[in-house]
Chain A
């Protein structure tokens, strides 16, 4: 037998073995494994593509380029409609370029990704408030993806569906689910993963030399304080993860900001002295709901990526301890 035939035979067997191993690994992966791998993939994967973002019945397309060099996140997001907004990220410094305003807004972002900083992680206490399962394989953006479903146990929180690239565990699509329907979603229409990204792809499309540069005030740091408020009807699974005294932007007004979390959904409670400025009742932006109410000498506003019933129940049950 010719030696090249032998080589071909070996390579073929090796390919079959590798495919079998890969298939077995895929079949044996647990939902938590997928979520863990997703977290790592979001941190380390370079990608370039078009994202469709749908919210409140409106869709917008964004061109996204993302890479990590020497541990520094480099990212460019360009809105494909409207005013041509561009977001250029270099590490934690983010430049939001508004070409129609001839201005650049500078912000400090501490989280990891413009698009995926807030995806669920495997740290969630699944089995208590949520269940997670692998549903099926589908194709997203021309790639094979595995669909994960995170289902809440009650009506106080939303579900999630996530489609992960089977090869890299990178999220190709994510939906926020209310009563079986998507109320927000981000989806790649096309994507290239882990290919070399040239520095020029991360440069602004506009010359910003003569633009006005504005620096966004730093985040609401506040002072850590002890919680003297609590909800009498807090939905199961939510717990306080931070309490701060903060100053309202543009004034000396002090407020208390409590953050509740069930490990996946976060809910803020803002408590201020009565001023007549509270926006009473409910409001919504996409999957985020708010509810404002007066309570004695205080005004309480609750906001979170949870159903309207949750923010209302928390707002109306807040009491001083």
Chain B
């Protein structure tokens, strides 16, 4: 748990300092971190190091602060000691790789069709009954869920996007007469752009 929090950049600073000290002295722990990182990178299919963050700098600094004989990245041979700074940077870079501030999409699950993605500006499509039903459930969940507090931070915005489509299709919902519906009449056919989920 502590190692995963560390590589995710979520370990409190005081605990991170302790872990860094342990890392510099415990070869097995370093191996465990390396394996964790390798698994994480594979799972996340991360493209590569887009930049370094402060974790990188701190790890590199912590390693550089140690006396040479306290560092044991690849054994105790003089040659390995000679490459210590490079090895230290390599490990630091690997840690930074998973701590980088980046957005990842999970993979391996079906996506909603393109027209249901957010946010998109386009033409209201013909959506089949099943997708329409699922969208109603998403909307219903967002409404109910927000009444009970915490969940996905953007659920209300999702609701709004869904609502916009309802407005574009829901001529029956109009409040104030029938002479102003021209802009909403079948926007798909008219080619008028409208916002949709």
CB pair A180–B141 under 8 Å, yes or no, is: no
**Residue in B44, B149, B193 whose beta carbon sits within 8 Å of that of A180 in the complex:** B44
A101, B7: Cα distance in complex, Å:
48
CB pair A119–B153 under 8 Å, yes or no, is: yes
Contacts of B1 in A (CB 8 A): 151
CB pair A184–B154 under 8 Å, yes or no, is: yes
A193 on interface, CB distance cutoff 8 Å: no
CB pair B167–A103 under 8 Å, yes or no, is: yes
- Which residues 99-132 in A have Cβ within 8 Å of B in the complex? 100-103, 105-107, 109-111, 114-121, 123-124
A284 on interface, CB distance cutoff 8 Å: yes
Contact bitstring B156-177, A, C-beta under 8 A = 1, else 0: 1110100110111010011110
CB pair A100–B194 under 8 Å, yes or no, is: yes
Contacts of B145 in A (CB 8 A): 118, 259, 266, 268, 304-305
Interface size in chain A (residues, C-beta < 8 A): 99
* Chain A nearest CB, measured from B172 CB (Å): 9
B69 on interface, CB distance cutoff 8 Å: no
**Residue in B118, B119, B148, B166 whose beta carbon sits within 8 Å of that of A216 in the complex:** B166
Contacts of A100 in B (CB 8 A): 192-195
Interface of A is mostly: strand
Interface size class on chain B is: 35 or more
Contacts of B197 in A (CB 8 A): 285
- Which residues 127-184 in B have Cβ within 8 Å of A in the complex? 129-131, 133-134, 136-138, 140-141, 143-158, 160, 163-164, 166-168, 170, 173-176, 180-181, 183-184
From known contacts A161-B10, A214-B170, A284-B112, infer whether A181 and B153 are also in contact, taking CB-CB under 8 Å.
no
* Chain A nearest CB, measured from B58 CB (Å): 10
CB pair A118–B151 under 8 Å, yes or no, is: yes
A307, B173: Cα distance in complex, Å:
35
6 contacts between A and B (CB under 8 A): A55-B154, A98-B194, A212-B184, A246-B140, A268-B144, A285-B197
